[in-house]
Chains A and B, each alone.
Chain A
Amino acid sequence: MKYSMKCPVIRKDPLARGIYDYLIYAPQIAEAAVCGQFVNIKAEGFFLRRPISICGIDREKGTIRLVFEVRGDGTKVISSINEGDNMDIVGPLGGKGFELSDKSKRAVIIGGGIGTPPLLPIAEHYGRNAVVITGFRSADAVILQKDYIKSGADVILCTDDGTAGRKGFVTQALSEVLEKETPDMVYACGPMPMLRGVAKMCLDKGIRTQVSLEERMGCGLGGCLVCVCRTQKNDEEVYSHVCKDGPVFEAEEVLF
């Protein structure tokens, strides 16, 4: 099921410059949501909702966690919602989330910038059987490291300028990991050039890779068909919809 409801904000924390961490009481959405899905949030004064990926689902407490970056005027308005206020949410959305294998399998998780939040539940699932590689512009943009460390995964932090963790891109760290082991699954979310690089490296080695994509979205449900991405099925190019065919896709399907 999907729901359209006003949900109270239990907690709001600033994580880094322009990045906010919200804990929302939304029991129906938490019950229905799976890892990799998203919600569509009303920005007061704006026409279109803003799609935000789900960073955490707690069915017992009936909460979802949303971590997002202020990118424009719409997300700025959403970031002005405070504890005790309601957030107007449609969700959970997305026809396909991340597919989680048995916990004993080995997984490598790669997140770039604001692409890191939706991957956290994957790290929590695999725990010490996961390697998490996250990359950010610089130290002041780094988020969620404590959460990833708490998951039990091996955590590798990269920054473009070397102000935190190691200097360089996540793809460099990934190539070193892949020299040492061949994981069962790779999961990635982040900017398109990063996803393209990750997909090429992993698919060349025959590793199953899932990527979470984004595109400018309308309804978020599959009614308006605006959020297309280029994919291929049976050697035929297909314009899939991020909202209902994804947001998670098999990397081998995506025409990067």
Chain B
Amino acid sequence: MNSLETVFAGVHFKNPIVPASGTFGYGREFSELYPLSKLGGISVKGTTLHKRNGNLPPRIAETPMGCLNSVGLQNPGIDHFINEELPWLKKQDTVVIANIAGADIDEYRQVAQKLDDTDVDMIEVNISCPNVKAGGAAFGVTCEGAAAVTKAVRAVTKKPVMMKLSPNVTSIADIAKAVEAEGADAVSLINTLLGMRIDIRTRKPILHNNVGGLSGPAVFPVAVRMVWQVANAVNIPVCGMGGVSSAEDAVEIMLAGASLVQVGAAIFADPLAPVRIIEGMESYCADNGITDISEIVGAVKPY
């Protein structure tokens, strides 16, 4: 058995590395750089019921060891995803994780229902997008909101459901417990941290949306901490993300309790990052006599 093989929420992954939603489109552009079959899976761009244009530019700002973005869930809508993107994705020999969002509970329910009849392997539910006015993070910052979305999605699909949590909360472990209680199969964290940059000459924010989500290596220690707290609070598996840029980072976040790892902003700096991380993890396993990567999940030895 390949040492990186992973079973997560009942889904088989050839390795635990998955490009994160919103950093990899639907994968097509990256297939010109490497075969997508190298990846454990792909979490595709967040999809809503109808097409969304997203926010006005500028949508990105450089920050120390990271960036702020405010895309605002631009996407062509769930029907386009199912009809135009999914058939191609399913031929890439990798796990397809649909990522969904909504402005209200009914939108989440409708999008999840449409996906239930498709070949997607898993549904990741974004209740933590900081860049949209309605819905998004509003649901993810209270236990009641997070639970309500989970309950609505759970009721309409048999697919594994993974709730993507916001770090912009007082206790992320409490939110995780709330979604677990409503039947979530897994949680993924962290989405971006809300931030802001200002041009000191023009006194205007750099982002047209004024504020945006911080990601990249700058947020990695926050992600490790939150994954650790959540993994200790729930019995469902945790998908860790937030600034993972190297195989060493992936191992570290797995030690904190993640059994699957998403790679996001690192792809902006290096489109080959997911493949480089997989190769690095293979070496790590070989060098350390690890035959099954699940050995390291949650294996941190805290003081």
Which residues of the other chain, A, contact B29 by a CB distance below 8 angstroms?
2, 221-223, 244
Q: Name B58's contact: one of A46, A215, A238, A244 (CB within 8 Å).
A: A215
Interface flag for A65 (CB, 8 Å): no
A48 to B65, CA, bound (A): 9
Q: How distant is the Cα of A219 from the Cα of B272 in the complex, in angstroms? A: 11
Q: Does B139 contact A (CB under 8 A)?
A: no
* Segment touching A, from B20-28, B87-95, B154-162: B20-28
5 more A-B residue pairs beyond the given contacts A4-B33, A48-B62, A224-B22, with a C-beta to C-beta distance below 8 A: A2-B32, A47-B67, A223-B19, A228-B56, A229-B57
Interface size class on chain B is 35 or more
Main secondary structure of the interface of A (DSSP, over half): loop
Which chain B residues (187-231) contact chain A, with CB distance < 8 Å?
216-217
A40 CB → nearest B CB, Å = 9
Q: How far is the CA of A159 from the CA of B172 in the complex (A)?
A: 58
Interface stretch (choices B246-254, B263-271, B291-299): B263-271
Q: A49-B268, A225-B22, A225-B25 are in contact. Are A218 and B69 (CB under 8 A)?
A: yes
Contact digits for B1-38, partner A, Cβ 8 Å, 1 yes 0 no:
00000000000000000010011110011101100000
Instruction: Let me know if B235 is at the binding interface, CB within 8 A.
Output: no
Query: What is A's interface to B at a CB cutoff of 8 Å?
Result: 1-4, 42, 46-49, 74, 90, 215-219, 221-229, 237-239, 244
Task: Tell me, in angstroms, the Cα distance from A4 to B276 when the chains sit together.
Answer: 12
Q: Is the CB–CB distance between A225 and B71 below 8 Å?
A: yes
User: Do A47 and B65 have beta carbons less than 8 Å apart?
Assistant: yes
Q: Shortest 5 CB-CB distances between A and B: which pairs?
A: A226-B59, A226-B60, A222-B29, A216-B58, A221-B29
Q: B143 interface residue, CB < 8 Å from A?
A: no
Assess the B63–A47 pair: CB atoms within 8 A: yes
A227 touches B57 (CB 8 A): yes
Q: CA of A216 to CA of B28 in the docked complex: distance in angstroms?
A: 22
Is A48 touching B67 in the complex (CB atoms < 8 A)?
A: yes
Residues of A close to B25: CB separation below 8 A: 221-225
Q: How far is the CB of B270 from chain A (nearest CB, A)?
A: 7
Within 8 A of A (CB), among B253-303: 265, 267-272
Distance in angstroms from B59 CB to nearest chain A CB is 4
Q: Does B77 contact A (CB under 8 A)?
A: no
Say if the beta carbon of B61 comes within 8 Å of chain A. yes
Q: Does residue B66 face the partner (Cβ distance < 8 Å to A)?
A: yes
Taking a contact as CB atoms under 8 Å apart, the answer to whether B66 and A228 are in contact is: no
Give the chain B neighbours of A42 by CB distance below 8 A: 269
A-B residue pairs in contact (CB < 8 Å), sample of 24: A1-B32, A2-B32, A3-B33, A4-B33, A4-B272, A47-B65, A47-B216, A47-B265, A47-B268, A48-B60, A90-B271, A215-B57, A215-B58, A216-B57, A216-B60, A218-B69, A222-B29, A224-B60, A224-B69, A224-B267, A226-B57, A226-B60, A226-B69, A228-B54
Decide if A225 touches B62 in the complex (CB within 8 Å).
no
| Bound CA span A2–B19, Å | 18
Chain B positions within 8 Å of A3 at CB level: 33
What is the CA–CA distance of A254 and B221 in the complex, to the nearest angstrom? 42
Which residues in B have their C-beta under 8 angstroms from that of A2?
29, 32-33
Q: Please, how many angstroms separate the alpha-carbon atoms of A131 and B216 in the complex?
A: 46
Report the bound CA distance from A238 to B51 in whole Å. 10
Q: Chain B CB within 10 Å — which of A47, A48, A222, A229 has the most?
A: A47
**Smallest distance from the beta carbon of A208 to chain B beta carbons, Å?**
26
Task: Quote the shortest CB–CB distance from A50 to chain B (angstroms).
Answer: 10
B residues less than 8 Å from A215 (CB atoms): 57-58
For the complex, give the distance between the alpha carbons of A180 and B154 in Å: 69
Known contacts A219-B23, A221-B30: does B269 contact A48 (CB below 8 Å)? yes
B271 touches A47 (CB 8 A): no
**Cross-chain contact of B67 among A218, A222, A225 (Cβ < 8 A):** A218
Shortest distance in angstroms between A173's beta carbon and chain B's nearest beta carbon?
Answer: 30
Q: With an 8 A cutoff between CB atoms, is B232 at the interface?
A: no
Q: Which residues in A have their C-beta under 8 angstroms from that of B65?
A: 47
Contact among A4, A229, A237 for B270, CB-based, below 8 A: A4
Tell me the complex Cα distance, A228–B59, Å.
8
Residue of B nearest to A215 (CB): B57
In contact, A225 and B45 (Cβ under 8 angstroms): yes
Bound together, the chains give a CA A180 to CA B19 distance in angstroms of: 55
CB-contacts of B53-86 with A (<8 A): 53-54, 56-67, 69, 71, 74
Q: Which residues of B contact A228 (CB under 8 A)?
A: 54, 56-57, 59, 74
Considering only CB atoms, which chain A residue lies closest to B45 in the complex? A225
Q: How far is the CA of A100 from the CA of B24 in the complex (A)?
A: 31
